[in-house]
Every structure is written in structure tokens, then in C-alpha cells.
Structure 1
């Protein structure tokens, strides 16, 4: 994929691994109107590619994401129109911005977030929609919205409690306190915390390569079943995976794994 069509994101694909970089380093990768539009476009394109198995999401420059670029989203016309019409338009805008991060979660391929520097506000919205999260020891996080007199509305309040627990999520969201990488790992927000960005990216690439070497049907099935189980009872989840495997289990991928084991070699899977 060429990234020439995107002004706020950089996209490269190699050996089944797509790397998506937030590409506004001069603004500390703050989320602009353009990034809100481009993120779901990128995720939709990667979702449709049969040579992608996993995605790494990272930021260029000193920080992962400094939150929303309010200057870029400023609207000076709100006082010039009917309040009801303005509020309806604002509601539709918020829902469109939510889609930017929901698209990460909805993408059939797993997404690994690699966080360094600041991960504030919209950055938390972004990484909680990912499947795996890594960070550096000096990374720092903040659910910032209450400091700005607003309620977080792009996914943090819905996804963070499922990751770190309701009580911890409430404390972080209500106080807007800053916490660093080691605490993020201790609470379960990130899987692992690394001494520097180089070590973190090496680990993210190793994990991505390991995932990319697996059956594409097994990868997307595992992501979908995990997401379904998060929202449903154990019984519902078991019924769902039974139906899923009834459809997907009779595949050439399973036969390839068995043959590779017999021949003592690594399996090779066809594109979807």
C-alpha cells in the first residue's frame, strides 16, 4: 500500500505485517480532523488486504499521541445557527469520530499498539481499541477529559474498564492523573513495559512476525471469538465458537499444519 493518499498516517506492509504510524510529529501526533477521517480508511483498506495478518500502530517523533488537536477541530459557526441543528450536527460528528477508533477494533487483523512518550486523551481511546499494547518505561498516560471539562466520548469509558477493571478505570477517568509505563503494566493496560523505544519496537515486531506466521483463518477467528466472548456469557461464547469452527475448521490450513508437523517444517498458508 502506498501512503501517498494519507496526510496524517504513514502505512507500510511487509511479510504480512502492516505498520501504521501517526504522522504528525510536529503536533505530537495530536488527532486532527484529517486523522479522524483517515484512520477508518486505513483500517478498512488493511482489513481488505489478503497479504496482511497483523498491524503495528505507533507514533512518529517524541510522543505516541498528545490527544485531540482542538485547534484543528475548532468550529466558530456554532453561534450562527439554530441550537437544535448545531447539536444534531455535533452528535453526528462525535459518532463519526468514534468510528475512527472503533475501526481499529473492527478490523479483522489484530492490532498491536507500541506506545512511547505521551499517550493522552484520544491516545487512550486509540490504544484501548487495540488487541495488544506495549509501552516504554518513560511512556506516560492520562485520561485527560475531565481536566478539560468534558466527558470522554470516543471509547475509553467503554473499553478501559474491561481492560483494567471498573474501579481502576473510574479512578483514572475521574482524577485525570498521569501514570507511567510500569504502572500501566501493573494494572494490565499494557502487556509489557520496555526500557526504551528500540526494545519495544523489536518486541512488537517479534510478536507481529509470530502472529503473521499463523493461519489467517485462525488469526481472524481468534480475534472475533475473543471480542464476542467479552460481551457475552460463557455459554453464549461457547455456542458462538462452535458455530464459527463448524464453518472454518474444515480448511486447508489445518491440513497444512498436520502435514508440516509430519514433515518437520514450518507450515505455509495461502492468502485469503
Structure 2
């Protein structure tokens, strides 16, 4: 496993634990973060042994969002020409978007375990995950509005599909902070836990359950769910028919059926 500057990555029991590892900086997202997360999720996507990814934050907080030093640097690099400034900023924003697209596009399920602060860019990140879980006292905020900008790395595009349009607008326009209880109520998180220890134990238990399933079936399920975000029902039904026309020939189906009939736990190849 390579060494990373902004992350610690472990692969245990087919679960990749991707931990943001800048606790002394409240896990703020610096230049290393934005580059390394693409490499990590490319590895997770391409490594057959990885069945599930859990992303968490080291220390007391998940992440305080984009490192303000990074924003300040972007500001100092601007010149006098508005058009050239706009082109440079656009390239930077698209590059940052690509970091969280790598999370969204990962063929393996990605579970976020959130404690403490989950602010600004951290909301963009967890919006790109499949499921989110938090401690009761976690604090969520779409903070960009208080920095005089619109969130531009995925929150406004992905979050309405998770918590609904009206609630997303309220949080985006006000920047107000919600805790784990409210996050659960609006479906931002699937479940809450009393402590960070219980959070990680609970999320890894769910991850192990997912990792025990057929990787072919999991991959097809995630692919279809993502496809349906942007397509009509009849498109989706035709696509799953074509997809399963191939995938139902996998040995995993026979293994699953035999295990079900004999009441044994199935073992699937990577």
C-alpha cells in the first residue's frame, strides 16, 4: 500500500478503510487531498479484492472542508484579464470536481462514517458516497454561502437526490448547522450512533455484510442505481435486461442459490 500525505489507507477483510489523516488541521482538504483521493479511488475501483470502501476522518472531526490556504493561493494567482482568470478558475473547479467524481464513479459501495465537523467541501464528499452514517453530535453545514460563494464541487447537484430539493435549498441558502439527529430526520444519514467508536463498529459491520455478497451482483446493483439518476424508468428496465442477460451467467448465481438451499454462508470469488 503506498504512503499518502493526506490519507491513511488499509485493506482488511476486503474492506478498504480510507481515512482522511490531517487531524491537526481538522482534516482540511489541502492540495495533497485533492490529488491523492483520485489515486486511492482508482485503486479501490480496479482492485478486485476491494469489495467495499469506508471513508472516515482521523481524530475528533470528519473534515472542516477545503483548506482555506488552497483558496487563498488560487486568489493570488489571478491576473488582470477577466477572461483568463475565469478560464483558470474554471479549470481549477473542474479538477476539484474530478476528485469527488472519482468517489461517485467507484464501482464498489462507498460508506461515509462522520463525526464532529462535516462542513463545506466535506458535504460535497459525503454526497458522492453511497451511504452516510454519523454520530448524534456530528455537525453538518453547507458553509460556502458564508464564504460568499456557491458550492461548486457537487453538493448542489447530488444532495437534492438525497434529502430533497426544498431542504437542500434551505441548508444551501442559510448555511445553518444541523446535528446528527436532524441529519437522520432529513435522510442525509442512514443511521446515527452515540459515539465515534460505535459509529466505526456499526459502519464496518454493514461493510462486512456488503462484502459478503456477490461482487458481480453488488457491482450491477450500484451501476443500475447510478444509471437511473439520469434516465427514465423504461430506459433503466431495458438496460438491466441487457446487463443481466450477461451477468446472470456468472457462477455467483449458482453459488448463491446452492448456499441458500443448504442454509450455508456463500463464498464468492473476487
SS of alignment partner, residue 83 of structure 2: helix
The 1-side partners of 2:242 and 2:78 are apart by: 53
- Measure how far apart 1:79 and its partner are: 4.5
The 2-side partners of 1:246 and 1:125 are apart by: 35
The 1-side partners of 2:171 and 2:231 are apart by: 26
Using structure 1 for the length normalisation, give the TM-score: 0.96
What is the aligned residue count?
269
- Match of 1:179? 178
SS of alignment partner, residue 192 of structure 2: strand
Alignment of 1:27-46 (within 5 A): 27-46=25-44
Is this contact kept in 2: 1:134–1:191, CA < 8 A?
Answer: yes
RMSD: 1.2
SS of alignment partner, residue 18 of structure 1: strand
Is this contact kept in 1: 2:145–2:175, CA < 8 A?
Answer: yes
SS of alignment partner, residue 58 of structure 1: strand
Which one of the candidate residues 39, 59, 63 is aligned to 1:65? 63
Which one of the candidate residues 5, 8, 13 is aligned to 1:7? 5
- Measure how far apart 1:255 and its partner are: 0.9
Task: State whether structure 2 residue 245 is matched by structure 1 residue 241.
Answer: no
For residues 136-194 of structure 1, give each alpha carbon's deviation from its aligned partner in whole angstroms, at most 9, with x where no partner exists.
Answer: 00001000111000010000000111111100000000000001000000000000011
Is this contact kept in 2: 1:32–1:73, CA < 8 A?
Answer: no
Task: State whether structure 2 residue 101 is matched by structure 1 residue 93.
Answer: no
Using structure 2 for the length normalisation, give the TM-score: 0.96
Is this contact kept in 2: 1:3–1:10, CA < 8 A?
Answer: no
- Measure how far apart 1:83 and its partner are: 3.4
Task: State whether structure 2 residue 192 is matched by structure 1 residue 193.
Answer: yes
- Measure how far apart 1:85 and its partner are: 2.2
SS of alignment partner, residue 154 of structure 1: coil
The 2-side partners of 1:261 and 1:180 are apart by: 41
Which consecutive residues of structure 1, in runs of 5 or more, have no partner in the other structure? none
- Measure how far apart 1:245 and its partner are: 0.6
